[in-house]
Amino acid sequence: MGRWSQRLAPLFIDFAGLADGEKILDVGCGTGSLTFALVKAADLHEVAAID
């Protein structure tokens, strides 16, 4: 998502249709914008990220 990460992250999260309690792996997280948005946007069990 590059420089648009912060603006696109909420839209991507809505599109993904996450359910409460899921475990998420963010591969290629770059700056972590999506990772941080995931933590704020959903009641997830676990979020792991690697770049």
Is 28 within 8 Å of 1 (Cβ atoms)? no
Mean pLDDT of all residues in 1-19: 87
- List Cβ neighbours of 5 (8 Å cut-off, separation of 6 or more): 30, 31, 33, 34
Average pLDDT score over the chain: 90
Q: What is the pLDDT of residue 5?
A: 82
> DSSP for the chain?
-GGGHHHHHHHHHHHHT--TT-EEEEET-TTSHHHHHHHHHS--SEEEEE-
pLDDT at 45 over 80: yes
Taking the domains of the chain in order of start, what are their residue ranges?
2-50
